[in-house]
């Protein structure tokens, strides 16, 4: 896994579209093996806001201060498009794939924005 | 060659832990299960070593005929409850159907049991008519080696073809680490010995559930003491503990041989010539 800083690419950037690879919750079979459902791709379109928000990130379980992380802000409607994907998400952008760090169901009081953190460790391209 | 049946090891131990600790998530390690997303106690099983060990007596048994193809035939009155117990390759299958179940449904239930994931007879199953199930072993010894297949209850078994074989008897030993991980939940009382409590419950039930292991052809040989592995994980501490199990299962090796065609003796040079026990094609 190659650490890749995407701060210049993402910070303060509002992409027109982001593609999420949506994977549902895994199950365990009779042999005790983890079985992952097949992934599907969902493209979300603007408005999408991506920014560094360390204050919020520190509240995310599993947050590692040594890693650079960004928050992808999604509206409630966008979040609904990822319904059933709350367990595993992979963010794809500009030919790179990024692991999800954590997802929060926190609802922003002002505009019902849901948000998530995307780990910046590149997992493949 | 037969076994080792690692699928039976996986399924049998998973079934044991799931039976004793129904609230736990049970998986074999290494696993891709994301621990941070498991909101229940997690028990992982890992085979940390093992291997084939020769039997205590007579490592190589005298040649014997092993079935390569057999036919099960269901019997009994379909109006009554019917049961069958099948012992083969060290494992056991029990099938029971209610009164009123047709012969073909009873036969199909037997086929489903014998083909169950992690608890299967390594054979190809072919239904014949309404009452019979043909079994073709995937390898020599798949239908029984040291001990023949035994069928008790409302079914019979007959051998169709067989092969002379030499059997090296032994067992497959597996050293399996059982590790419990109990996350400290936000908003809940945290118990630093939560994982110990889980494993204590499991340990106490091991011998009680040895029969369950036996149906998978597994025998519990040893249990080590529980050690603490508590550590900082993710956002907080995670109570962890582990112990090791020694599990054995039959793993007899059957090698096809040909019957001696003739035996000649010479009284002039005091020799005996056997023509010949050779490997079968």
Q: Given an 8 Å threshold on Cβ–Cβ distance, is A36 in contact with B32?
A: yes
Q: Which pLDDT band holds residue B100 (cuts at 50, 70, 90)? A: very high
- The per-residue pLDDT for A7 is 38
Residue of A51 and B280 predicted with greater confidence: A51
Min CA distance, A19 vs chain B (Å)?
A: 22
CA distance B89 to B87: 7
Q: Given an 8 Å threshold on Cβ–Cβ distance, is B31 in contact with A88?
A: no
- The per-residue pLDDT for B222 is 95
Does residue A116 register a pLDDT over 60? no
Does residue A125 register a pLDDT over 60? no
Average pLDDT of chain B to the nearest whole number: 88
* CB neighbours of residue A23 within 10 Å: 18
Closest CA to B159 of B137, B129, B126: B137
CA distance B160 to B202: 44
Tokens of B73: 């035939």
- The per-residue pLDDT for B252 is 83
pLDDT in tens, A14-39: 667 777 777 777 889 999 998 888 77
Q: Given an 8 Å threshold on Cβ–Cβ distance, is A61 in contact with B34?
A: no
Closest CA to B61 of B164, B169, B158, B162: B169
Tokens of B67: 């079935």
Q: Point out the residue among A34, A61, A63 whose CB comes nearest to the CB of B31.
A: A34
CA distance A117 to A53: 9
pLDDT in tens, A40-56: 778 877 666 665 555 55
pLDDT in tens, B33-62: 766 556 788 999 999 999 988 766 557 888
Q: Which pLDDT band holds residue B79 (cuts at 50, 70, 90)? A: very high
pLDDT in tens, A64-92: 555 555 566 666 677 667 665 444 566 66
Cα B32 to Cα A48, A86, A123, distances in angstroms:
30, 17, 15
Residues near B155 by beta carbon (within 8 Å), at least 6 away in sequence:
B72, B73, B74, B75, B76, B84, B86, B110
* CB neighbours of residue A63 within 10 Å: 18
Does residue B268 register a pLDDT over 90? no
Q: Which pLDDT band holds residue A110 (cuts at 50, 70, 90)? A: very low
Q: Which pLDDT band holds residue A4 (cuts at 50, 70, 90)? A: very low
Does residue A9 register a pLDDT over 80? no
- The per-residue pLDDT for A36 is 82
Contact B94, B210 (CB under 8 A): no
* Residues of chain B that touch chain A, judged by Cβ-Cβ distance less than 8 Å: 7, 10-11, 13-15, 25-28, 31-34, 36-37, 45, 116-119, 234-235
Does residue B211 register a pLDDT over 80? yes
How many H helices and E strands in chain B?
Answer: 4, 19
Tokens of A31: 């042999």
CA–CA–CA angle B134, B139, B145 (5° rounding): 85
What's the distance, CA B227 to chain centroid? 28
Residues 82-121 of A with CB under 8 A from B: 87-88, 102
pTM summary value: 0.75
- The per-residue pLDDT for B132 is 97
Which run of H or of E encompasses A120? strand A114-124
Q: Which of A23, A25, A31 to mutate to test the interface with B (most CBs of B within 10 A)?
A: A31
Contact B181, B240 (CB under 8 A): yes
* Closest chain A CA to residue B6: A31
Tokens of A28: 């365990």
Closest CA to B13 of B277, B247, B208: B247
The torsion of the CA quartet B62, B65, B66, B68, rounded to 10 degrees, works out to 150
CA distance B144 to B246: 24
Tokens of B22: 């129904």
Q: Which pLDDT band holds residue B129 (cuts at 50, 70, 90)? A: very high
Does residue A117 register a pLDDT over 50? no
- The per-residue pLDDT for A2 is 30
Does residue B266 register a pLDDT over 80? no
pLDDT in tens, B132-176: 999 999 999 999 888 889 999 999 999 999 999 988 888 899 999
């Amino acid at each position: 896994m190659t650490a890749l800083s995407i701060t210049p690419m993402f910070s303060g950037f509002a992409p027109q579209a982001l593609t999420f690879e949506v994977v549902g919750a895994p199950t365990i079979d009779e042999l005790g093996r983890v079985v992952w459902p097949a992934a599907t791709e969902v493209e979300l379109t603007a408005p999408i806001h991506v920014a560094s928000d360390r204050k919020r990130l520190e509240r995310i379980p599993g947050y590692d201060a040594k890693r650079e992380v960004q928050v992808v802000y999604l509206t409630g409607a966008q979040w609904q498009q990822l319904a059933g994907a709350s367990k595993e998400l992979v963010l794809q952008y500009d030919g790179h794939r990024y692991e999800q760090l954590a997802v929060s169901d926190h609802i922003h009081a002002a505009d019902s924005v849901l948000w998530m953190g995307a780990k910046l460790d590149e997992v493949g391209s | 060659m037969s076994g080792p049946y690692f699928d039976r090891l996986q399924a049998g131990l998973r079934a044991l832990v799931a039976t004793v600790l129904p609230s736990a998530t049970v998986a074999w390690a290494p696993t891709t299960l994301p621990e941070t997303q498991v909101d229940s106690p997690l028990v992982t099983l890992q085979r940390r070593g093992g291997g084939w060990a020769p039997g205590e007596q007579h490592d190589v048994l005298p040649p014997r005929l092993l079935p390569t193809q057999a036919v099960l035939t269901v019997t009994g009155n379909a109006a009554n409850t019917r049961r069958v117990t099948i012992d083969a390759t060290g494992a056991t299958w029990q099938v029971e159907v209610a009164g009123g179940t047709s012969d073909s449904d009873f036969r199909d239930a037997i086929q489903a049991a014998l083909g169950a994931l992690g608890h299967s007879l390594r054979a190809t199953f072919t239904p014949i008519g309404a009452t019979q199930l043909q079994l073709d072993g995937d390898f020599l010894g798949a239908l029984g080696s040291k001990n023949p297949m035994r069928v008790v209850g409302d079914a019979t078994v007959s051998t169709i073809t067989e092969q002379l074989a030499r059997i090296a008897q032994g067992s497959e030993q597996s050293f399996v680490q059982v590790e419990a991980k109990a996350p400290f939940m936000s908003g809940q009382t945290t118990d630093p010995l939560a994982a110990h409590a889980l494993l204590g419950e499991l340990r106490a039930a091991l011998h009680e559930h040895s029969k369950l292991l036996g149906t998978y052809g597994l025998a519990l040989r040893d249990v080590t003491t529980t050690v603490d592995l508590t550590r900082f994980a993710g956002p907080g501490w995670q109570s962890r503990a582990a112990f090791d199990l020694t599990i054995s299962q039959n793993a007899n090796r059957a090698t096809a041989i040909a019957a001696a065609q003739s035996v000649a003796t010479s009284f002039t040079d005091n020799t005996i010539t056997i023509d010949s026990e050779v490997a079968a094609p």
